[in-house]
Amino acid sequence: MTYGYPLPAPPKPPMSGADVAISVTALVFTVVGGAGAGFLGLMMLAFTDHCPPETCSIDAAVTAIVTGFSVAALIAVVGIVLTIVSLARRARAWPYAVGTLVLCGLACLLGMFGYFAAVGA
């Protein structure tokens, strides 16, 4: 009997050390890899020396790079938020973190492929 007093909330389950380690590592790789890919994309655009109009479209190259990295940035923000919320709830978070890493890498890779298709490389 509680005699009108609320029962104490059950304690939260402990956080899995492996889940936290994998999640944090994947998110760090996502941020560092995204920054590196963004720098690489900027350098690729800055040093496109020869772009003949018959086989090359610098506008399409810029569009491909910017679109790919914008999508990757959006995926990264959503994935980081989902991972942090899952960690705070003490639920399994590593699938969100690893999925974010893979999807961001794929978006950056597609942006790079679009660039190479646009410049005819």
Domain spans of the chain, in order of start: 61-121
The whole-number pLDDT of residue 33 equals 95
Residue pLDDT, tens place only, 50-101: 788 788 888 899 999 999 999 999 999 999 999 999 999 989 999 999 999 9
The distance from CA 14 to its chain's CA centroid, rounded to whole angstroms, is 27
pTM of the full structure: 0.83
Is 42 within 8 Å of 25 (Cβ atoms)?
no
Residue pLDDT, tens place only, 4-47: 788 888 887 788 889 999 999 999 999 999 999 999 999 988 88
